[in-house]
Amino acid sequence: MKPWLAASVLAGVLSATAAGGPALAQQATWKVAIFGPPRAVTAPVEHLAREMAAKTGGQLKIEPVYGEALSKATEIIDGIKGGAFEAGLVCASYYPGKLPLYTVLDLAMLTPDDIMAQARVQMAVAEHPAIAQEFKRWNLRMLLPGPLPQYQLMGKRRIARAEDLKGVRIRVSGEMARVLEDYGAVKSLVPAPETYTSLERGVVDMISFPSTYAFASYRLQEISKYFIDKISLGTQPCFWGVSETAWSKLSPAQQKLMLDLREPATQAGAQAYAAADAKNYADWKARGIEIIDFPAAERAKLTANAGKHWQEWVQDKEKKGLPGKALLEFVQAKIKEHTK
């Protein structure tokens, strides 16, 4: 069914309800736990909230709650499972012990650059039986994908070759760090709020964040000389999770409508990232920051090493009795399918 047709059907059911016909579902309000302020990454759920309120006549309200007012970033799936709130922004790297298989999307230089392709891969992975089982333990399902732009580098060191990474102190974490360390980079674990002072004081030379919006939000452009674009180290596997209990209370028409809104909601996020990039690139150029497009041939050197770390992830999961090999192959096939 086309989205416009689903909306028409839903409107008809709502009219029937008002006339004494069968109710679509009980009126409900979902609270969504979000760490941080409204920003590009929150655009999809904000779009979904507006559209669901409009298309259900206010019967289903989705209320984003920002700044960890409902939960810390590292405790959102616990809050969903416990029924403290209905939905939230879930980043699997915060839960490696709770969502071990979903961290496959955290592997360095694995996920596609294109935001929409990345979103489609995420949705396919969420439907894989092993992932569905993993989510089920936390009364969790994917409401919306939450693709992030690729992680790039910004700071005070010029990096135009893989060899330029040697000795560079980089604020980077997780699987991305391992690929950079292969070329002599030094990993530094700096909390995001401390990146400005750490770069300013020379504690680190470069900062890794997703695309431009995160760099700008921490004002790193004020003290940086270089932005290394297209090194594309990978992304964090974040998504908008919802309680299965809350989802099951929706009518089939509401569920269908919400699923139909996934694509335009994700597009709203992609557009927000693009708008932020356009603004920030112009600002950085005006400041005299050198924007370096990391050469594809140099990035190929990094990706050649990334494969061995993917296999280390597989081996770790297989030792724990988890289908790491099958899942990685599934993800690679879906990436190929959605990046043609």
Report residue 36 as tokens: 């941080």
Residue 280: inside a domain? no
117 shares a domain with 245: yes
| CATH number of domain containing 193 | 3.40.190.10
Distance CA 261, CA 243 (A): 18
Is there a contact between 334 and 125 (Cβ–Cβ < 8 Å)?
Answer: yes
What is the reported pLDDT for 18?
37
Residues 183, 315, single domain; the answer is: yes
Tell me whether residue 285 is in a domain: no
One domain for residues 53 and 67: yes
| Residue 338 is assigned to a structural domain of this protein | no
The predicted pLDDT at position 153 comes to 98
Give the pLDDT confidence of 221-230 residue by residue, as tens digits.
999 999 999 9
CB 24 within 8 A of CB 13: yes
Percent of the chain with pLDDT over 90: 86
Which pLDDT does position 308 carry in this prediction? 95
Question: In the chain, how many domains are there?
Answer: 2
Under the banding of pLDDT at 50, 70 and 90, the label for residue 15 is: very low
Same domain, 206 and 297: yes
Same domain (yes/no): 76, 208: no
User: Rounded to the nearest 10 degrees, how much is the dihedral formed by the CA atoms of 41, 274, 54, 12?
Assistant: -110
Residue 340 binned pLDDT confidence (cut-offs 50, 70, 90): confident
Please compute the mean of the pLDDT values over residues 262-280 and round it to a whole number: 95
pTM of this prediction?
Answer: 0.88
Report the pLDDT value the prediction gives residue 3, as an integer from 0 to 100: 39
Pairing type for strands 169-171 and 206-210 reads parallel
Q: Is the domain of 48 the same as that of 160?
A: no
Separation CA 292–CA 157 (nearest Å): 11
Domain that holds residue 163: 151-234+290-321
Q: What average pLDDT is seen over the chain?
A: 91
The alpha carbon torsion through 252, 8, 6, 115 (nearest 10 deg) reads -130
Q: Report residue 51 as tokens.
A: 């559209």
Provide the pLDDT for residue 9: 39
On the question of pLDDT at 214 being above 80, the answer is: yes
Listing DSSP states for 140-170 in one string gives EEEEEE---PPEEEEESS---SGGGGTT-EE
Same domain, yes or no: 186 and 295: yes
pLDDT digits (tens, 9 = 90+) for 139-186: 999 999 999 999 999 999 999 999 999 999 999 988 899 999 999 999
User: Is residue 302 over pLDDT 60?
Assistant: yes
Q: In this structure, are 181 and 317 located in the same domain?
A: yes
Residue 8 has pLDDT above 90, yes or no: no
| 113 and 90 belong to one structural domain | yes
Q: In the chain, what percentage of residues exceed pLDDT 70?
A: 92
Same domain, 176 and 216: yes
Q: Within a domain: residue 197?
A: yes
Residue 43 CA to residue 265 CA, distance in Å, equals 8
**Residues whose CB falls within 8 Å of the CB of residue 337, separated by 6 or more in sequence, listed in order:** none
Q: Using DSSP bridges, classify how beta strands 140-145 and 290-293 pair: parallel, antiparallel or unpaired.
A: unpaired
Question: pLDDT by residue (tens digit) across 217-258?
Answer: 999 999 999 999 999 999 999 999 999 999 999 999 999 999
Give 7 or 117, the one with higher predicted confidence. 117
Binned at pLDDT 50, 70 and 90, residue 13 comes out as very low
Q: 76: Cβ–Cβ under 8 A, 6 or more apart, which residues? A: 33, 35, 88, 89, 90, 94, 241
User: What's the CATH code of the domain at 62?
Assistant: 3.40.190.170
Which parts of the chain fold into alpha helices (H)? 3-18, 43-55, 76-82, 115-126, 129-136, 174-181, 195-200, 213-217, 244-248, 252-260, 262-287, 296-319, 324-338
Q: How confident is the model at residue 27 (pLDDT cuts 50, 70, 90)?
A: confident
pLDDT of residue 97: 94
Q: Are residues 257 and 270 in the same domain?
A: yes
189 pLDDT exceeds 80?
A: yes
Please report whether residue 2 resides in a domain: no
Is residue 3, in this structure, part of any structural domain at all?
Answer: no
CA dist 308 and 226 (Å) reads 29
Q: Which residue has the higher pLDDT, 66 or 23?
A: 66
**Residue 194 placed within a domain:** yes
One domain for residues 116 and 251: yes
Whether 198 and 216 have beta carbons less than 8 Å apart is answered as no
pLDDT at position 26 is 66
| 303 assigned to some structural domain | yes
